Structure 1
Amino acid sequence: MERAAGSSESVGTVVVAGLANLAIAVAKAVAGLLSGSAAMLSEAAHSFADTTTEVLLFTALRRGTRPADPRHPFGHGKESYVWAFIAALFTFVAGAGFSVTQGVQSILASRHNGSYLVSYLVLAVSFVLESISLTRAVRQVRAASRHWRLTPLRFLRHTADTTVKAVTLEDSAALVGLVLAALGVGLTELTGNPVWDGVASIAIGVLLLVVAAILARSNVSLLVGRAVPPRIRAGIEEELAGLPTVERVDTLLTMQLGPDDVLVAAKLDFADDATGAQIEATADLAEQRLTDRYPTIRYVFLDPTRGLGRTGPTGGGRHGEL
């Protein structure tokens, strides 16, 4: 139920952001064409890029939650990171590339035609709509951070839910971009120098480059097979070390299989007098304790192993998995 609720919340956040960005993109494009402002056209490209990103993130949520099958025994969770990575690349190429190019062309052309009032009105309305979208994303981040007993910033840094991270960062960047566009248009009107409009457009492009780089790096890390955050890993090790008949946790490996799926694999040193039945019971208890404490843990694999310096009939340090 918790997984379903989290996924549903993320879908709602992405849909709200996508609809808001689409409406804003059209308004900015019209304002940019009427005013001739490079900053406004850059903001239009920014919003169109964000809209496409939301579509890709929605695809990531849908395809990443498909159930496991014989060809994909651990599910399709990592596919969500593929689509999220593509979304980051699109922001990099379409949004940032267009903004920087438009800014350079505006500076070289050194002209600005059209009404400034239209730009100001669209920027004001866009700021309100982006704020509404960001408020929903921040509400989800705060609720999740309270659940994990983390600060919102720390949660965003470590979360494997790249959709809510992407929406939060993109909406935050959108608000900053609107301020930059307003400064560019305002300074151009005050000084009569259209260079400021071009500089604002380039600044918006650089902002998008930073956001795209952060999101791309996060998704690549998750695609490669990122472990859970240190705090959660410590909690998992604590639970395993406290199990009956367990002397020591020799090895603990974790991997994020998807936003709501974690794999745990560990080598445990059991007491010398532990029977096979006791080890089996401990394995069942381990899975129960871990999933109760961390509902995102989906798979638990335990490997009984001999302690250092101890030998047995096989002379090895490893037994079969449970």
Structure 2
Amino acid sequence: MAAEGNGHANESALTVVLAFAANLGIAIAKIIAAVITGSASLAAEAAHSVADTFNEVLLLVGLRRSGRPADRRHPLGHGMERYIWTLLVAVAIFGMGALFAFYQGIETLLGHHGAEAGPLVGYAVLAVSFVLEGISWRQAVRQVRDAARAENLPLLTYIRRTDEPTAISVLLEDSAALIGLLLAFAGLGLHQLTGSAAWDGVGSVLIGVLLTAVALILGRINLNLLTGAQADPRIVADVRERLGAADEIEQLVDILTLTFGADRILVCARLDFRDTLTAGDVERACVRMSRELREAHEEIDEVFLEPVPRDDPELRERVIARYGRTLRPRGPGQA
């Protein structure tokens, strides 16, 4: 599992570094072009690129800190710290990008805009930015598609279920950047054609709406991970089947799974063992089943198995409160 996790981390780091380099150059060019042309859309896009550049730094910090090994104070490691830093990215996209875009757009719509110059510099910067953003976007798409293919999931399903939000963050940022560039181009072009700066203001406001949507989507993904998302349903189903099929088990009473980092899953299960087993038999069965689960799924990092009676009323109430019913014994192939 360590090798696979390191591979994902290295690929994510490459994606983030490439995005950082592209966004830094684009941000500088957009700032210069915005100052020369006086375009609100270009100013909004400049703020967007500055936010994205800052965000790549946050993502790199998250990758590094979340990769630290477990210690006494953090027995499950630091994997979930990655979600904190990615959540900060969502906040930065809204705070540094969207709000500034709204401000620029509203100011322009109200007629408060500075001196204007020829838009040719703006068009050139937007074209170059589109090419550079496209390179970064292509790397992010390739990583996410490869990961979805490895998980045998459709792309959108993978994005909803993934426990690795770094590449998703870059993909969303770059997708928003490409759309934002088209909006800025449209605002600048309509301004030139009509002579009305209102179009430039509208373009800036639309960029703000776009960035707000991206921030909300990214925030929702990380909020779900931070609040304790269960493992991939396919892994949960396989764990249930394997535990329920063990010779020593009468019934699987309860099961909990928790994603606590990229490719790291915690499994806790309460099992009703056969009454004819000795304490030694139960101990050896727990060790064997834990090993088999980790061998079957590299993502499973920790396994805790607890022997319990299936008819305990308090435990039964807890299971019903969580699932709406008790867990039924499962046969092969049942969902």
TM-score, normalising length from structure 1? 0.92
Specify the alignment match of 1:86 in structure 2. 88
Task: Specify every segment of 5 or more residues in structure 1 that has no aligned partner in the other structure, as ranges.
Answer: 311-322
Within the alignment, does 1:220 sit opposite 2:226 as a pair?
Answer: no
Within the alignment, does 1:305 sit opposite 2:308 as a pair?
Answer: yes
Q: Deviations over 1:170-207 (max 9, x none)?
A: 11111111111111111111111110110010110111
- Offset, 1:309: 7.4
Letter in 2 for 1:116: P
SS in 2 for 1:253: strand
Letter in 2 for 1:55: V
Report the more deviating stretch, 59-68 or 227-236. Answer: 227-236
SS in 1 for 2:74: coil
Q: 2:16 aligns with which of 14, 17, 25?
A: 14
Specify the alignment match of 1:134 in structure 2. 137
Letter in 2 for 1:260: D
- Offset, 1:291: 2.1
Contact 1:110 1:194 in 2 (8 A): no
Whole-Å Cα distance in 1 between the matches of residues 110 and 176 of structure 2? Answer: 26
Specify the alignment match of 1:37 in structure 2. 39
Alpha-carbon RMSD: 1.6
Contact 1:20 1:130 in 2 (8 A): yes
Specify the alignment match of 1:171 in structure 2. 174
Specify the alignment match of 2:317 in structure 1. none
Contact 1:110 1:195 in 2 (8 A): no
Within the alignment, does 1:253 sit opposite 2:279 as a pair?
Answer: no
Specify the alignment match of 2:68 in structure 1. 66
SS in 1 for 2:206: helix
Q: 2:298 aligns with which of 281, 295, 298?
A: 295
Letter in 1 for 2:72: P
- Number of positions where the alignment pairs a residue of Structure 1 with one of Structure 2: 310
Report the more deviating stretch, 212-221 or 62-71. Answer: 212-221
Specify the alignment match of 1:47 in structure 2. 49
Letter in 2 for 1:62: R
Task: Specify every segment of 5 or more residues in structure 2 that has no aligned partner in the other structure, as ranges.
Answer: 314-335
- Offset, 1:152: 1.3
Q: Deviations over 1:139-166 (max 9, x none)?
A: 1111111111101111111111111111
Contact 1:244 1:282 in 2 (8 A): no
Q: 1:265 aligns with which of 250, 264, 268?
A: 268
SS in 2 for 1:258: coil
Contact 1:31 1:122 in 2 (8 A): yes
Report the more deviating stretch, 142-151 or 239-248. Answer: 239-248
Letter in 1 for 2:204: S
Contact 2:5 2:262 in 1 (8 A): no
Letter in 2 for 1:88: A
Q: Percent same amino acid among aligned pairs?
A: 46
Whole-Å Cα distance in 2 between the matches of residues 74 and 99 of structure 1? Answer: 41
Q: 1:197 aligns with which of 193, 196, 200?
A: 200
Q: 1:282 aligns with which of 280, 285, 298?
A: 285
